[in-house]
A and B are shown apart, each in its own frame.
Chain A
Amino acid sequence: MIFPWLTVVGLVPLIGSIVVAFLPNARPTLAKQVAFGFSLIPLVLTVLMALQFKADSTEPFQFVESHPWIPAFGISYSVGIDGIALVLIAMSTVLVPVVILAGWNDGDTGRGSVKGYFALVLVLETLIIGVFSSVDVFLFYVFFEVMLVPIYFLIGRYGGVQRSYAAVKFLLYSLVGGLFMLASLVSLYVVSAQMTGTGTFDFLSLAGLHIDPLTQKFLFLGFFFAFAVKAPLWPFHTWLPDAAAEAKPGTSVLLIGILDKVGTFGMIRYCLPIFPAASVFYAPIVIGMALIGIFYGAYVALGQKDMKRLFAYSSMSHFGFIALGIFVFTAQGQSGSVVYMVAHGLSTALLFLVGGYLMSRYRGSSNIDDFGGVNKAAPVLAGFFTVAALSSLALPGLLSFIGEFLVLIGSFERYMWVGAIATLGIVITAAYVLRVYQITMTGPLKPELVGIKDLTGREIAAMAPIVAMVVFLGFFPSPLMKVINPAVDRTMVATGSTTPAPALAPAEGSTP
């Protein structure tokens, strides 16, 4: 019997959340410790899985498990991962323990129980792993929608002043997207039934259907709309700043660092292979939206006074790059997107957690102007903020540079002007990120901040692994690229795209 890796990795956090939920209310620290312990197990298992993952395998998915679930609708419980899913799952299983450790005191708002916070985080981890590892499109949809429920409660119960508004806005926005995807999903099922006799939701079967282009264009819209809301892509982004501003930093990391990746993951995994003609057809529009998103997000971030909103808009800007990389249909672009997804997840974690540490030291305020000169009182905090800021602006040597560089090269190859314009976005990124660093960290120490403590051991322990990964992978990204490239190549084949060769003539004197 092959060990069901993916199901086990997915179930462990769920079991952990049930255990935590049944712990007594009067022992919150025990709940935190149990939750942290349970979150480490999927990490270990994922590392073991990654070591067994064969990067050069010819199979589209590995660690596949498939059991019929609702045969009446052709639905089965099928899970499996390719390179893209593997790196995203790995990123998630790293981030959840980090979030739990960094958010040790996040559950103590007095509004909900402490154990509830951590139980919800663990349930969310199960759903995230499920979403990335689904090979059955219906199963993917189920996880995609159910994921909304824990986040809704995390924002709505443990968030800030406007938490209720932000949570409902998030829920309704995501539900709208999800319901249009449902209409597309049901239509896809009916189309598959009409084309093959029995309807199915198996991803590989659906990707193998050659649906006529007109139908593809309609079905693509439903899926794409849901993913665009999730990503978020301009102009469907308005839920993000409110949600990020009201949620606890740990929740924001999960929301923006991982959940939003589901949107772009969906684009590259589901939209492109199942609807290749429609993807190519709509690519100019999507690229336009992505470019606008890059500049809009960056420009609005430049003017923000609230730290968390600034980070949210900066994420929106980065997601523009990711979507751009996917829809230029070059190998570098798509590989760059996936790397950027991982890098963005890690750098978002750094940003929000550092922001959270900063906020917790001064009345929970997220107003940038409340802080100044923190690097004098808390140099380690400032140091981590530096790394976070540089990671956000994609300094060479950090992982985000690899992602951004590949995306820009990929865009440049296909559409020269798009690549050129997108590169300008980096300038504004640098502006807003360095601005927030300058205002909060440098300059004279504000009198209200005298006496604030530097980072504790726990806080450092939460962020150090991420910094280490960002730096190590920034210099040595080949483990990532090795698993991502074959998966991207398969997607390229599915859409029938080829990377344009460089257009320069060979140099004089070199052999033709």
Chain B
Amino acid sequence: MMPFADVVKFDLPAINYSAIAPILIIGGAAILSVLFEAFLPRQARRPVQLVLVLVSVVAALVVVISLAGTRLITANGSVAIDGPALLLQGTLLVVALLGALLMAERALDPLGDAFAPRASALPGSEDERQFAERGYFQTEIWPFFLFSLTGMLLFVAANDLLLMFVSLEVMSLPLYLLAGMARRRRLLSQEAALKYFLLGAFSSAFFLYGAALIYGYSGSIQLVSISDALAAKPGQGALLALGLGILLVGLLFKVAAVPFHQWTPDVYQGAPTPITGFMAATVKIAAFGALLRVLYVSFGGMRWDWTPMLWVIAILTMFVGCVIAVSQSDVKRMLAYSSIAQAGFILVGVVSATRAGLSSSIFYLIAYAFTTIGAFAIVTMVRDGSGEATHLSKWAGLGRKSPLVASLMALFMLALTGIPLTSGFIGKFGVFAAAIASGGTWLVIVAVVASVVSAFFYARVIVIMFFSAPGPDTATVAVPSVFTVVALAAGATMTIVLGVFPQPVLDLVNNADIFVR
């Protein structure tokens, strides 16, 4: 008798492939993209990759829309496809598409696109010069983009901590690389990539350690089981508190909350601007999606314990973001601190720990993502002889030289301030209403004061553009090709539409305000 006659029964997990089809489409496209990189001739790579990216993102979006209303848990309890997950996945896909359009732009930089032709060539070396002369282009950005997007789509749908960790890594590793691939100011870019990698690796390690501690407490990594364990053992032990705290460090790092925000200004400034725009929008959506799911599903029962801590973090985030942004003179750094402040406002919604808090946070994320992509699209367009002109003094008088572009930037700045009739106002309104309804009146007052401070540095950009005379070293606005134009138009349109007619999106968001258990 053969020893292997005792067949070990191995149950394959039941996977609902149609529910996770968007993730599979993007993941499959990512793998295809790598194969294209390996086997296609150089000239054919870019058009084929562009088509692949476009088709796969649109296809995934169509599938997400057709899945609307699904509420199920699949893959042995690892993946949860519910209203918030689908809504966030849809938003991620749309925003990623706009990011891809920005990445594909070639008409702005006289040398080509925003990416170094050979990222591994030492800056200032002979190799680098030769590659630039031969007109090589970097097309590996597309597999990175698709892998990162896969990670993000999975991150918002992950229902257990291990899958969350895996998708966190899949999302982040390509971004670490992409941050280092700028064509201009390469040393700054590589420094940004290294900082992002080191700090990101640390925070992922924190996440994993926190997950391990929570597993130790609850005996499971599944979010629902953790919640059940919490209910079964009422007195929470040190293991749980520590585990939750350490886990949140990992998540709050990605969200760029204070005091885990130190990477944001350097990385945003050093990364190529299309990547900054892509990161600023999508990573925040994904990270908040996961944060909301973990907090509401697993730890909803002990909300009285983590809400005070998040109160403090929200207040710190809003204030540090706003106050430090006031002193910034580089527009990318200013936008980085501004996105830290915006994360603080979203945390105000998260802290309310109610369904209204969930839906208002998601709406704010959607509004913020479109505005951010638009703002970074404009940053890619303002250039001088040495590439992007990111110092604010070079933006003086832009309102006279290019009124349309300056007006769009003014629109985005007003939206981020929260002027009515822009998406930012409805977002802030929803978040404040949710917070007050759950007793966070003081938090809202702090948020209002922070908004006032933020108005100063947002208005300063408008002042510089419109109220100063153009100087000799004022930048010019390069004429973009259709890619950036579409991304910019989409960002501006959504900013206005969500401000004036937010009801359709509000309905979407209000219908998607319960996580599946």
Closest to A180 in B: B448
Q: A69 contacts the other chain (Cβ, under 8 Å)?
A: yes
A-B contact count (CB 8 A): 85
* B448/A190 in contact, CB under 8 A: no
A186 touching B429, Cβ below 8 Å: yes
Decide if B433 touches A167 in the complex (CB within 8 Å). Answer: no
Q: Which residues does chain A contribute within 8 Å of B35, judged by CB atoms? A: none
- Cα separation A168 to B417 with both chains bound (whole Å): 14
A171-B419 in contact (CB<8A): no
Q: Is A209 interfacial (CB 8 A cutoff)? A: no
Q: Identify which of residues 69-83 in chain A touch chain B, using a CB-to-CB cut-off of 8 Å.
A: 69-73
A interface footprint on B424-437 (CB within 8 Å = 1, 0 otherwise): 01101110110011
**Which of chain A's residues has its CB closest to B455's CB?**
A175
Say whether A189 faces chain B, with CB atoms less than 8 Å apart: yes
The answer to whether A145 touches B419 (Cβ under 8 A) is yes
Q: Are A171 and B466 CB-contacts (below 8 A) given A149-B414, A182-B448, A186-B432?
A: no
Output the least CB separation between A106 and chain B (Å).
Answer: 17
Q: Does A142 contact B (CB under 8 A)?
A: yes
Q: Which residue of A71, A145, A183, A194 contacts B445 across the interface (Cβ within 8 Å)? A: A183
B361 at the interface (CB under 8 A from A): no
Kindly state whether residue B212 has any CB partner on chain A within 8 Å: no
CB <8 Å contact, A186 and B444: yes
B-binding segment of A43-51, A156-164, A250-258: A156-164
Residue of B nearest to A139 (CB): B420
Judge whether B467 and A163 touch: CB under 8 Å.
yes
Q: Is the CB of B420 within 8 A of A141?
A: yes
Q: A172 interface residue, CB < 8 Å from B?
A: yes
Contact stretch, chosen from B6-14, B59-67, B499-507: B499-507
Binary CB contact string for chain A from 186 to 230 against chain B (1 if under 8 A, 0 otherwise): 110110011000010000000000000000000000000000000
Within 8 A of A (CB), among B437-468: 437, 441, 444-445, 448-449, 451-452, 455-456, 459-460, 463, 466-468
A residues near B437, Cβ cutoff 8 Å? 190, 193-194
Q: A164-B468, A186-B429 are in contact. Are A172 and B507 (CB under 8 A)?
A: no
CB–CB A156/B467 < 8 A:
yes
Nearest-neighbour CB distance to chain B for A396, whole angstroms, equals: 43
Q: How far is the CB of B48 from chain A (nearest CB, A)?
A: 43
The smallest beta-carbon distance between A93 and chain B, in angstroms, is 23
Chain B min CB distance to A469 (Å)? 33
Docked pose: A199 CA to B420 CA in angstroms: 19
User: Could you say which residues of chain B place their CB within 8 Å of the CB of A18?
Assistant: none
Q: Does B421 contact A (CB under 8 A)?
A: yes
- Neighbouring B residues of A73 by C-beta, 8 Å: 429-430, 433, 506
A153 at the interface (CB under 8 A from B): yes
A148 vs B414: C-alpha distance when bound (angstroms): 11
Question: Are the C-beta atoms of A69 and B503 separated by less than 8 Å?
Answer: yes
- Report the minimal beta-carbon distance from B14 to chain A, rounded to whole angstroms: 37
A153 lies within 8 A of B466 (CB): yes
| B-facing residues in A109-154 (Cβ within 8 Å) | 111, 141-142, 145-146, 148-149, 153
Q: How many angstroms from the CA of A145 to the CA of B445 in the assembled complex?
A: 18
Per-residue 0/1 for A49-93: is the Cβ within 8 Å of any B Cβ (1 yes, 0 no)?
Answer: 000000000000000000001111100000000000000000000
Is the beta-carbon distance between B421 and A171 smaller than 8 angstroms? no
**B510 proximal to A (CB < 8 A):** yes
In the bound complex, residues from chain A placing their C-beta under 8 Å from that of B455 are: 171-172, 175, 179
- B417 nearest CB across to chain A (Å): 8
Chain A positions within 8 Å of B433 at CB level: 73, 186, 189-190, 199
Within 8 Å by CB of A71, from B417, B429, B469, B503, lies B503
Q: How far is the CA of A133 from the CA of B437 in the complex (A)?
A: 29
> Cα distance A290–B414 when bound, in Å?
33
Shortest Cβ distance from B445 into A: residue: A183
By a CB distance below 8 angstroms, the chain A residues around B507 are 72
Within the complex, the shortest CB–CB distance from B87 to chain A, in Å, comes to: 15
8 Å CB contacts to A: which residues of B449-504? 449, 451-452, 455-456, 459-460, 463, 466-469, 502-503
Indicate if the CB atoms of B436 and A186 lie closer than 8 Å.
yes
Decide: A182 and B506 in contact? CB cutoff 8 A.
no
**CB-based contact B448/A179 at 8 Å:** yes
Q: How far is the CB of A133 from chain B (nearest CB, A)?
A: 16
A185 to B, closest residue via Cβ: B429
The reply to whether B429 and A182 contact each other, CB–CB distance below 8 Å, is yes
Nearest-neighbour CB distance to chain A for B406, whole angstroms, equals 12
Q: Chain A contacts of B420 at CB under 8 A?
A: 141-142, 145-146
A176 within 8 A of B: yes
A172→B455 CA distance, assembly (Å): 7
What is A's interface to B at a CB cutoff of 8 Å? 69-73, 111, 141-142, 145-146, 148-149, 153, 156-157, 163-164, 167-168, 171-172, 175-176, 179-180, 182-183, 186-187, 189-190, 193-194, 199
Q: Give the A-binding residues of B (Cβ under 8 A).
A: 414, 417-421, 425-426, 428-430, 432-433, 436-437, 441, 444-445, 448-449, 451-452, 455-456, 459-460, 463, 466-469, 502-503, 506-507, 510
* 8 residue pairs from A and B, CB less than 8 Å apart: A70-B426, A73-B430, A146-B421, A167-B467, A172-B459, A179-B452, A187-B436, A189-B433
Known pairs A179-B418, A179-B448, A183-B448; list 18 more (Cβ under 8 Å). A70-B502, A72-B502, A72-B503, A72-B506, A72-B507, A73-B433, A111-B469, A146-B420, A156-B463, A167-B467, A168-B460, A179-B452, A179-B455, A186-B429, A186-B433, A186-B436, A187-B444, A189-B433
The 9 tightest CB contacts between A and B, nearest first, are A142-B420, A72-B506, A186-B432, A164-B467, A156-B467, A179-B448, A190-B436, A145-B420, A183-B448
